[in-house]
Structures are given as C-alpha cells and as structure tokens.
Amino acid sequence: MNRQILCAGLLAASLAQAGEIAVNQVGYAPGAAKIAAVPAVEATAFTVVDNASGRTVLRGRLGAAARWEPAGQDVRLADFSRLARPGHYRLHVDGLPDSPPFIVAADAYAAVNAAAIKAFYFNRASTPLLGVHAGHWARPAGHADDHVLVHASAAGPGRPEGTVIAAPKGWYDAGDYNKYIVNSGITVYTLLAAWEHFPAFFKAQKLNIPETDKSSGGLPDLLSEALWNLDWMLAMQDPADGGVYHKLTNKGFDGVVMPAAATGERYVVQKTTAATLDFAAVMAQAGRVFAAFEAQRPGLSARMRSAAERAWRWAQAHPREVYHQPPDIRTGDYGDDKLDDEFAWAGAELFITTGEARYRPDLETLAISVPGWGDVKGLAWVTLSSNRRKLGENDSVVVKARIMTLADELLATWQASAYRVGMRPQDYNWGSNSGALNRALMLIQAYRLKPRPELLAAAQALFDHVLGRNPLGQSMVTGFGAKPPLHPHHRPSEADGVEAPVPGFLVGGPNPGQQDKAGCPVAYAAAQPALSYLDHFCSYSSNEVAINWNAPLVYVSAALQALTPGAPSTAPAR
C-alpha cells in the first residue's frame, strides 16, 4: 500500500470515528434557536457556509466538549441562532465532513407538516387511494370492515358472540392493519388540539386529500382527515349500553402484504374502561370542534357530545374493566390498568365542552406528566390550559402552575444536557421519537402561557433531534432530510413494490429494549439508548410507524411554524 492511500485510509477511519456534524436536516425558521451537535474534535471554531457557493456567511466558536450520557459520546455545540437570512446552508468544522445541507425559511416546516398529516390519509382503511391524491403510493382499498364479528370477550345480550357489525373507515394503527381505540384517542386529540390552538395555520393548508364524504365539503383538510377516524370510532360504541370496544383486529398480525391482500376475519374485542374513557374524551373535544361546522355536517357535533356522555356513564358503571388479551388474539394490546388519568382526561373534556361541574376532575390531586397512549393526564392539562376563560380564578392559577412545573423540569433536563436536547437515557424506549415530540408539545403549552424564549428553544431542540440532530445523523421522518428512514416497519411501504417508503411518517426511534433483535438479520448500530436504532423492516421496536407518533409531529411542526418569532431571539443556548 502506498503512503498516500494509507494516509487517506487513516483519515477516513479517524473521520468515521469522530462522527458527523448533526443538524435539523429539514431546516429552521429564521427566528429559531439553531444548534448543531459536533463530535469532540480539536478545532475550536465553526463556519456556516452558503450551500451553493461555499461562501462563509457566519463564524462562531464551538462550546467545550462534554459527555452526553444517552449516547456515551463527547459532543461540542455550535450555536448559529444568529443565522436568520433565508437560504440553503451547511456547517463546516475543520477535520470533519460538512453537515448535511439545511434551509432557513419562513415556511421551513410547512412541507413536513403537510406530509405528516397526509401520512394519515395513506393509512386509511376501507378506501382506495387514488393516483390523483396518492401518486406513487396509490393502492386499492383494504379492509372494508363491514363484516366484523363480535368476539366472545365482547359479547352481551344485545350482541351475542358472532354477531356481525360494520365499523368501516379509520386509520390502520401503524405498520399493522388493526385499529385500536386507546391509541386513536390520544392521536385524534392531538390533531384536534393542533386545530384548536393554531386554526389559521390549518385553514390555509391544502393537502390534496379527498373529502371524507360529499357532505363534508368545506371542512379544513386536517378536520376532514380526523373525521375519517372519528366516523370509525363512533361505530365502535355498543349502541346497547354506550361501552366502547377496545380494538377491531385480526386474530394475529397480517403477513407482509398490501391491505387489499390482507383478508383475514376481523373482530371487535372486549369493551374496556380505558377505551371507553378515551372515546368519551375525544368525542367531547370533537363535539366542541365540529360545533363550528354545523352547516357542513348537520347534527354531528350533538351526536358526538351525546356519544361522549353515554360513554362516560358506562365508565362510571364499569370503572375497572381492564383489557385482558384473550388467548386466541395476538395483536397489540394497549393494555393499561391505571385508569385515574383516563377518568381525569375524559372529565376535563366533558367539563370544558358541557360546562357541567360534575365532570370537573379534582385539580388539586391531579398530577402532570408528558402524555403517551398509556398516560393521558397531560392531555387534561393541555385542554384546561387552553380554556382558562371557562375556569374559576383558583383553577386557572392551579393549571398555570402545573404546566409551568412540568416545563421547568423539562427545561432543566435540556439545560443539563451536553447535547442540549431534553432526553435522558431512560427516555429512550419504544416510540422514543414521539416521547421527544410530546415533551416539545408540553413545553409549547408553557410557551403559550408565558412566551419565554428558552421554552421555545427547548421545544425546537427536541424537534431538531428527530429531524437529524442526533448521533445517528438520521432524520426520523420518511421522505424528509438528507438521511431519512428507508425501510420502516410499515407493511404497505414494504409490500408495494415502490422503492421509496410512504412519506411523512415518523418512525419509533432509538429503543435500547431492542425487542425485535432476535428476528433481525443485521445488528443495531449500538447498545447505547440514543444509538439503539435500526433502519430495517425487521425492526418493529425501533423502526415502525404509528398514528400516535405522527400526531405530535403534526402538532409540533405547526406550533413551531406558527409561534417562532420572525427574528432570532436572544435566548442564550447555555
């Protein structure tokens, strides 16, 4: 080997060891906090260069190297928040490859937001996706769900085992083709909350999706899409008593086939307290939202409200119907035996929608946490916080204090993090990307109460994290960024014969549980929490997609687009 080749080889090896500069690969709004993560090299300075000409547009100093525990790596930060002029750029540090390119633009997140909503359309059951809307990803209809059997676990006097019911529409939950009420609850809530908080943003949006039916003409696209799932949810309520089935499912997961080829028998399974309360919460909220669209869908709002009230009554009479997976059913369980949070959330939604004090949860004893499918009390606080004018003075004070307490904890984690991203090792689990975005969503609630720049900067950091500012240099959204996921655990993306996966989906993300590794032909990147990711179809525990993961992507991208000031803030990065 000649000396030159040897040197080049050594250089490449040391670069690979040093790692890469990590940025939000989609880009930044002009006024956003902008931080890059840089491997711990010897250089002390960075430049931002114009991507086309290579001309330097900004110089800055790198922060000191510090250890970031979730990856077990040393990192330095480059704060280039001052870069506000719209354009295409990349970051340069001597001794490293340049960062992936990124943009600065006033509408930096419009496209990823639109795609994140359209992903729900791509996961619709019971309808063909036509080329005019779906492009490369057009496909025939799957799962009519007009011949669904009542499973033994769900049988009652009015509907004995084997009764045939119809519960069409809705979205497939994830990479599988089943439909689960618990997960639909937080998902639809988050989409409708985005609408409630940022209506102007969504009114202006055109997604090229079909209206859910002719009579809904004139609905904003986001609401049209949400209605596709709400219509299904309404059909999951037992008309005899108001209880709600936990899921509509096959007995086992389908093979890797397109929806139209997955023709196994479908069942509704066990009415549960969690499903019924999540349904009550979302129908109460939707009743509020659709009251403004009486002309487009006459009677819908009233129907939703009464469905919510009936569900609430069923839950009062059945306060501990916990989901038990029947022995012949092997699909996702979304099991949860802690139900205080579901009661508080449904109560809060019904209280805000009806004004009736009997629904009001006891705020003094209700804690706050980052929401997820199994812990929904945070959603109650989001709704109460956004409807303070409907609360008494004391309640309003409690709501603000609770939101700020959580935000202060999240801020402290962000500030203490060498990566300047509010994720600790234990925050990486199945669906960690949605955990990051739900943290951002809660910080945004605090910012809406009190617009302190650091609240928005901490939310931005979590958003950046899933769009590429991570030690894998990996965008976690299909179709977006320089290095997006190419092999998500999403049956249509795998089976459709189209090379590119269906765009706009957030994958689950780093998960040191690596529950799927026994069935994977290749190894994960590493064992560390923030590195436990595998872009392979086999990896359902780090690379699946799911509706409850996409919903906070919709919320946070819209919120950052709508709330980021036009000019850079003066918030210190440290």
Active site members: 176, 489, 535, 544
Q: Is 355 left (phi over 0), alpha (psi -120 to 50) or beta?
A: left
Nearer to ligand G3I, 370 or 560 (CB): 370
Say if residues 227 and 212 touch (Cβ distance below 8 Å): yes
Q: Return the structure tokens found at 321.
A: 């119907």
374 binds, among ligand G3I, ligand 9MR, none (CB under 5 to 8 A by kind): ligand G3I
Q: How many CA atoms lie within 13 A of 241 on its CB side?
A: 18
Between CA 35 and CA 37 the distance in angstroms is: 7
Say if residues 436 and 462 touch (Cβ distance below 8 Å): yes
Q: Is 332 in the site for ligand G3I (CB under 6 A)?
A: yes
Q: Is 332 in the site for ligand 9MR (CB under 6 A)?
A: yes
Core vs surface per residue 333-354: b (16+ CB within 10 A) or e: ebebeebebbbbbbbbbbbbbb
Between CA 354 and CA 361 the distance in angstroms is: 14
Q: Is 173 in the site for ligand G3I (CB under 6 A)?
A: yes
Which 8-state DSSP code applies to residue 123? T
Count of helix runs (H) and strand runs (E) in the chain: 16, 13
Between CA 501 and CA 505 the distance in angstroms is: 9
Nearer to ligand 9MR, 249 or 528 (CB): 249
* Residue of 93, 174, 188, 382 that binds ligand 9MR (CB under 6 A): 174
In sequence order, which ranges of 428-533 are alpha helices (DSSP H)?
432-449, 453-466, 491-495
Q: Is 430 in the site for ligand G3I (CB under 6 A)?
A: yes
* Residue of 68, 109, 201, 253 that binds ligand 9MR (CB under 6 A): 253
C-beta of 559: minimal distance to ligand G3I in Å? Answer: 23
Q: Is 125 in the site for ligand 9MR (CB under 6 A)?
A: no
Cα torsion 308, 311, 313, 319: sign? negative
Nearer to ligand G3I, 411 or 546 (CB): 546
Say if residues 233 and 184 touch (Cβ distance below 8 Å): yes
238 binds, among ligand G3I, ligand 9MR, none (CB under 5 to 8 A by kind): none
The DSSP annotation for 290-342 comes to: HGGGTTTSTTHHHHHHHHHHHHHHHHHH-TT------TT--S--------HHH
Residue 46 has φ and ψ, to the nearest 5°, of -135, 160
* Residue of 40, 513, 538, 573 that binds ligand G3I (CB under 6 A): 513
121 binds, among ligand G3I, ligand 9MR, none (CB under 5 to 8 A by kind): none
C-beta of 172: minimal distance to ligand G3I in Å? Answer: 9
Span from 170-178, 185-193, 259-267, 386-394 in contact with ligand 9MR (CB under 6 A): 170-178
519 binds, among ligand G3I, ligand 9MR, none (CB under 5 to 8 A by kind): ligand 9MR
Helix axis angle for 300-317 and 340-354, nearest 10°, is 140
Which 8-state DSSP code applies to residue 372? B
* Residue of 531, 546, 551, 559 that binds ligand G3I (CB under 6 A): 546
Q: Return the structure tokens found at 416.
A: 């203490």
C-beta of 508: minimal distance to ligand 9MR in Å? Answer: 9
Nearer to ligand 9MR, 123 or 216 (CB): 123
431 binds, among ligand 9MR, ligand G3I, none (CB under 5 to 8 A by kind): ligand G3I
Q: Is 311 in the site for ligand 9MR (CB under 6 A)?
A: no
Closest-CA residue to 170 (of 241, 100, 245, 98) = 245
Span from 44-52, 96-104, 160-168, 170-178 in contact with ligand G3I (CB under 6 A): 170-178
Q: Is 476 in the site for ligand G3I (CB under 6 A)?
A: no
- What is the CB neighbour count within 10 angstroms for residue 306? 13
Q: Which amino acid is at 139?
A: R
Q: Is 425 in the site for ligand G3I (CB under 6 A)?
A: no
Span from 69-77, 168-176, 274-282, 405-413 in contact with ligand 9MR (CB under 6 A): 168-176
Output the residue with the shortest Cβ distance to ligand G3I: 332
* Residue of 20, 79, 176, 321 that binds ligand 9MR (CB under 6 A): 176
- What is the CB neighbour count within 10 angstroms for residue 408? 12
Nearer to ligand 9MR, 176 or 349 (CB): 176
Q: Return the structure tokens found at 326.
A: 């029947």
Interface residues for ligand 9MR in 500-559 (CB under 6 A)?
519, 540, 544
Output the residue with the shortest Cβ distance to ligand 9MR: 176
Span from 84-92, 173-181, 222-230, 390-398 in contact with ligand G3I (CB under 6 A): 173-181
Q: How many of the chain's residues bind ligand 9MR (CB under 6 A)? A: 8
Span from 169-177, 203-211, 389-397, 416-424 in contact with ligand 9MR (CB under 6 A): 169-177
Strand, helix or coil for residue 489: strand
Q: Is 175 in the site for ligand 9MR (CB under 6 A)?
A: yes
Say if residues 83 and 29 touch (Cβ distance below 8 Å): no
The DSSP annotation for 10-73 comes to: HHHHHHHHH---B--SSEE-TTS--EEEEE--S--EEEEEETTT--EEEEEEPPPPEEETTTTE
Print the binding letters for residues 348-377 with ligand G3I: x by CB under 6 A, - otherwise. --------------------------x---
Residue 66 has φ and ψ, to the nearest 5°, of -150, 155
C-beta of 151: minimal distance to ligand G3I in Å? Answer: 17
Say if residues 56 and 48 touch (Cβ distance below 8 Å): yes
253 binds, among ligand 9MR, ligand G3I, none (CB under 5 to 8 A by kind): ligand 9MR
Nearer to ligand G3I, 361 or 509 (CB): 509
In whole angstroms, how far apart are CA 41 and each of 50, 54, 63, 219?
23, 22, 11, 53
Query: Which residues are near ligand 9MR by CB under 6 A?
Result: 174-176, 253, 332, 519, 540, 544
Query: Which residues are near ligand G3I by CB under 6 A?
Result: 173-174, 176, 332, 334, 374, 429-431, 513, 540, 544, 546
